[in-house]
Chain A
Amino acid sequence: MAPKSGRLYAKAVFTGFKRGLRNQHENTALLKVDGCAGQEDARRYIGKRCVYVYKAKNKTSVPNSKEKSQLRCIWGKVTRPPGNAGSVRAKFRRNLPPQAMGCRVRIMLYPSRI
């Protein structure tokens, strides 16, 4: 049997919401992907699904599993690269909580285009 697989997502950090200097738009999040510098690299991630995983105090049910877990997640999608510095814009099903700033967001490798 194959050993437990390694990481199948790219690591990214939620740096903040899309914003001008004085106004912010919480429906779009800015993610800084590890190792990604420049728009060309960032373009590789467009369309990929991303998740913000976090823990909560109460246990909630997990789909396809009887056990309840404290892990929760918010799913989203990488929409486009803003600017030239290699970060990435993402829209989540529900807006990311501001507590998530500075926290890890996972960018999955699917839907794959390779």
Chain B
Amino acid sequence: MAKNKNKGKPRNYALDSGVYRFSASKMFHKKAIHKFLKKTVAKKPADKKPVFVEKKIKGDKNGGTRMVRVKKLTNNVPTMDVKTCILHTKRKSVFSKHSRKLRPSLTPGVVAIILAGVHKGKRVVALKQLETGLLLITGPLKLNGCPLRRINQRYLLATKTSINVSGVKVPETINDKYFARVKSDNKVKKDGNIFENKKEDYKPSEQRKADRASVDKQVLEAIKKHPQGAALKSYFKAGFGLNKGEYPHKMIF
């Protein structure tokens, strides 16, 4: 057989006027349909598809199985369009799946100034970023009274000073759950007088104190090793504040 140069090209094509080039009889010859006319393919017995399918269901008292139609009836319209359902679930961006960004200036070991909150104005050491995106920082406690704490990046002013904290190992247990607020057992107190609920002042647990002490020890050592260690200590102790003539837009931190 000669190599078909026209393989893949359509046998028939439309002319400008919209009429096709070759008539039905011509196509008959082109396609060599005479060859296929007498060929008949044996009719395969149609696979009888079951109308109902037995499916297992949960629940003790539900009878165990149900007969479910394989092909749903046309009048079976779901209350919510499946596509929109999936769209909705795809659109919802769950917080746990959000991408966490970290400002390049806030690397571990950087000294930062806390801008708001109870510890505002304090210079602290940034340790690492937790899963929720919050930064783990420590005073250290002895220097400025700031404990191991979580803080949002937005409330930190990173300075160019940084301490080598590669040697500081923060225990793996310190994560967001560790810092989560402890909810008081309201159910237990329901039996008693609801109005007797006292708001208990926050007291750091022993676990916290121990962890804090161990991390702080390592951080303090890192500070000592820093070439300006002694000066850094008083740097930490002093708070940050703007004075007359000091304008944040003109300052490099």
Contact = CB atoms under 8 A, between A and B. Distances in A.
Interface of A: 1-10, 33-36, 41-42, 44-45, 108-114
A112 B237 CA distance: 22
Contacts of A42: 249
B158 A114 contact: yes
Given A7-B242, A8-B241, A112 B154 contact: yes
B239 interface: yes
B212 interface: no
Main secondary structure of the interface of B (DSSP, over half): loop
A34 B247 contact: yes
- Category for how many chain B residues contact A: 20 to 34
B241 A5 contact: yes
A114 B161 CA distance: 13
B229 interface: no
B144 A1 contact: yes
A36 B242 contact: no
A41 B105 CA distance: 20
B215 interface: no
A41 B121 CA distance: 23
Nearest to B158: A114
18 contacts: A2-B122, A2-B143, A2-B145, A2-B239, A3-B239, A5-B241, A6-B240, A6-B241, A6-B243, A8-B240, A36-B247, A41-B250, A42-B249, A44-B248, A45-B248, A45-B249, A109-B248, A112-B156
A35 B238 contact: no
B240 A5 contact: yes
Q: Which of A1, A8, A41, A42 has the most CB of B within 10 A?
A: A8
Contact of A2 (B115, B238, B245, B250): B238
B155 interface: yes
